[in-house]
Amino acid sequence: MKSVATWMVVGGIGSVALAAIGRALWLYRSSLDWPTADGSITRLDLDRRSSSGEGHHFRATFSYDFRARDGALFHGTWSKDFSSQQDARDFAEWELPIGRRVIVRFHPKNPSTNDLELDSWTNAGDRPLDLNV
């Protein structure tokens, strides 16, 4: 009886996890059709956070502004975790300094639902632009 209850709990947790993953993939796929707008990084916030168990990490939260199709100004944030404050600052300086132009993908009916188009800001300064092929 104990083994049946265990399998029921595991099955329930697995079903919830699969449903959550499916919903996230469905939302991500639909967001690929959202319009884009030019934006720029406006702020960096660094927060020290406790990690589960022991230790801590640093969360860098980048704020950005963009204008939707009607010209209205909107804001958004994107966060990334780092093991040290210096790693976070180095990433911010290299990849997303304040003023960096970015592309924002936003929901056409509600631009306050938005996210960075991640490939738009990746610094390619250390990658070859021409392979001379």
Q: What is the pLDDT of residues 107-125, one digit of tens each?
A: 999 999 999 987 765 554 4
Whether residue 130 is contained in a domain is answered as no
Whether residue 126 is contained in a domain is answered as no
Whether residue 127 is contained in a domain is answered as no
pLDDT tens-place string over residues 57-77: 999 999 999 999 999 999 999
Place of tokens 């250390």: 126
Verify that 41 and 87 share a domain, yes or no.
Answer: yes
pLDDT tens-place string over residues 14-58: 776 665 565 555 555 567 889 999 999 999 999 999 877 778 899
Whether residue 131 is contained in a domain is answered as no
Whether residue 80 is contained in a domain is answered as yes
Whether residue 99 is contained in a domain is answered as yes
Verify that 55 and 116 share a domain, yes or no.
Answer: yes
Domain that residue 114 falls in: 35-120
Specify the pTM. 0.68
Verify that 3 and 64 share a domain, yes or no.
Answer: no
99: left (phi over 0), alpha (psi -120 to 50) or beta: left
